[in-house]
Structure 1
Amino acid sequence: MSQLITDINRAEMRLIKHVKPLNDRINAMGMCVWWDGDIKEWFINNTGLSQNGISFWLDGRKYKKLMAMSDIELLEYCKNWR
C-alpha cells in the first residue's frame, strides 16, 4: 500500500511540473493553477493567489488551448470563467 501512495504522489508531482509554464503565466496576472490532491482536481484561481477558484479538468487539449492564448485572452478567459 505504501508503494501505491508513493507512486500516486510521484505522478501528482509530474503533473504539477507539467503545468508550471501555465502557472507561471497566470501567476504574473495575480492568479494561480493548483492541484487539489484531496479531491484530485485542478483549479484556476481567478480572484487572487489564495486557493479558491474554478475546478476544471485539464487534459492535453485544454492545456494547449490555454497556452496558445495571448496574455490578454488568458486573463479575460480566467476572469470571466464562471
Structure 2
Amino acid sequence: MAKTMSALIADVKAAESRLIKHVQPLNKRLNALNMHVYWDGSFKEWFINRFAADDRGGISFWLDERKFKKLMAMNNTELREYCENWG
C-alpha cells in the first residue's frame, strides 16, 4: 500500500534530522573557528557561514560523504584556510 503524504513528509523530516546529527562533529570544529555549517530545510541545501558561528547566512554547497570526510581529516589550520577561501 502507498504511503500517505503525511507519512512521506515524516520520512523526509527524519532523514533531515539524521543528516544534521551526522555533521555535528564537523560543526563543532567549525564553531570553534567561528564558522557554521547547517542544513536549510527550505532550500534542501547545506550552507556554510564562514564569518559567524551563530548566523544562518552563508553560501550553499554540496556536502556528500567524500567531502565530509575530507573536511574532517583536515587539521584546524587547513580547515580554516579551506573554508575562508571557499567560493
TM-score band by shorter chain is over 0.9
Q: Which whole-Å CA distance do the structure 1 matches of 2:31 and 2:8 have between them?
A: 32
Q: Note the alpha carbon deviations across 1:55-76, whole angstroms, 9 max, x for none.
A: 1111110000000001000011
Which has the higher Rg, Structure 1 or Structure 2?
A: 2
Pair 1:59 & 2:37 matched: no
Q: Find the partner of 1:41 among 42, 45, 70.
A: 45
Q: CA deviation at 1:44?
A: 1.0
The residue type paired with residue 58 of structure 1 is L
- Consecutive unaligned residues in structure 2, runs of 5 or more: none
Query: Which one of the candidate residues 8, 11, 18 is aligned to 1:7?
Result: 11
Query: 2:85 matched to 1:72?
Result: no
Partner SS state of residue 8, structure 1: helix
What amino acid maps onto 1:28 in structure 2?
A
User: What TM-score do the two structures reach when normalised by structure 2?
Assistant: 0.90
What is the TM-score when the length of structure 1 is the normalising length?
0.96
Paired residues, number: 82
Aligned to 2:28, what secondary structure does the other structure show?
helix
Q: Distance in 1 between matches of 2:58 and 2:84?
A: 10
Identity of aligned residues (%): 63
Moved over 4 A (4+): none
In the other structure, the counterpart of 1:27 is 31
Unaligned 5+ segments in structure 1 are none
